[in-house]
Structure 1
Amino acid sequence: MNNNNTNQKLYILTGGPGAGKTTLLNGLNDIGFITVAEEGRRIIKEQLSSHGNGLPWIDKGLFAKLMFDSSIKSFQKIVRISGNDPVFFDRGILDTIGYLKLEKLPVPEEMDITAREMMYNKNVFILPPWKEIYENDPERKQTLEVAEHTFECIYETYLEYGYHVIEVPKVTVEQRIRFILDHIERMQ
């Protein structure tokens, strides 16, 4: 799948856990944008409820595969239905590769190939670690230190795949939304 005009409207919000991505995504959804929730959190909830092994604290490789497969399905579905409206993803396909690198697991060749074929807008919005808002919950067990390292791995992964990474400032949700929308407007 090539990076056509439709894919130019697909924007990624990424970063380490607990940086405010979901809150920002919800804010974008509240003002009428199409948004796609994070796959990892959904998978963790499903695996917990079914007593599955695809959890990052049980089987990191299986968790990565489930996350990657779900990200591909979400991408394909959105490409089919989105038209010319901007769509915001809470993480993208490359986040799984960043996770594998974080965990020092090999990146399967087919994942690498797919990630290079299924492209989003080249401008990726990354949210830095933010100690003041970081919280753990049943799906987020990482320490702030791991969240910071995750941020670094994801940042480097997106750069490696040719994306332009734009760091979103640590400001209110409304100000973050304005920052992103202003960037998108200037890029058009």
Structure 2
Amino acid sequence: MNTERFIVITGGPGSGKTTLLEALAAQGYSTLPEAGRGIIRGQQAIEGPALPWRDPPLFAELMLSWEMRSHVCARDMPGTLFFDRGIPDTVGYLRLAGLPVPEHMMRAAGTMRYNRRVFIAPFWPEIFGQDAERRQTADEARRTFDAMEAVYLELGYELVLLPFAPVAQRVDFVLDTIGPALRVHRS
């Protein structure tokens, strides 16, 4: 299976990842949404327990399940795909929370791979903000960047730091970095 066409964009909250992915989607690229926001919205709608501020381990299990499903679904999709976070982010989340990482999560992160180059968005104070789903403080956002950086490096990925730049420039940077062979739209 060719997972080189699976491109991850990770980093801390409020660093422009989702905006970048929306811009890539507007250019015709397939994108897969972030697990965290989707789970939080769903759990809030049903007053469920799997929220990061209620039950972090349960939240992490749902994130893992979401990300694994995204990975499996992507196998049948054509062209290059951009992921708003990946399976390793679940490991980073648990480590950031000071919680143990179950062995099955490490196995998933080690076996369900993405392109060796992972784009990482640094903490960007000028655009960081909180909302109903993003409750992290600026300090937590910085530490999230550090946690994601550490886990992806540990898993053997090469990190590419996204520039502090307008979204159009970030799109160009990503597309230039992945090169012409991966600039394939879905058909």
Provide the TM-score with structure 1 as the length reference. 0.94
Quote how far apart the aligned CAs of 1:97 are.
0.3
Inter-partner Cα distance in structure 2 for 1:30 and 1:94:
26
2-structure distance, mates of 1:124, 1:33? 17
Out of 50, 53, 56, which is 2:49 matched to? 53
1:71 paired residue number: 67
Residues in 2 aligned to 1:187 and 1:114: alpha-carbon distance in whole angstroms: 27
- 1:124-154: CA deviations, max 9, x gaps? 0000010000111100000011000000000
Which of the residues 163, 167, 174 maps onto 2:168?
174
One-letter amino acid of the structure 2 residue matched with residue 29 of structure 1: A
Aligned to 2:6: 10
Match of 2:121 in 1: 127
Q: Separation in 2 of the partners of 1:154 and 1:186?
A: 27
Q: Which runs of 5+ in 1 are unaligned?
A: none
RMSD: 1.1
Distance 2:165 2:181 in 1: 22
SS of residue matched to 2:179: helix
The Cα of 1:175 is off from its aligned counterpart by 0.3
Aligned residue in 2 for 1:142: 136
CA separation of 1:144/1:66 partners in 2, compared to 1, >3 Å: closer, same or farther?
same
The separation in 2 between residues aligned to 1:106 and 1:51, in whole angstroms, is 26
The runs of 5 or more residues in structure 2 that have no matched partner are: 183-187
Give the superposition deviation at 1:82.
2.0
Identity rate, percent? 45
Structure 1 letter corresponding to 2:164:
K
Q: 1:115 Cα shift?
A: 1.1
TM-score (ref. length: structure 2): 0.95
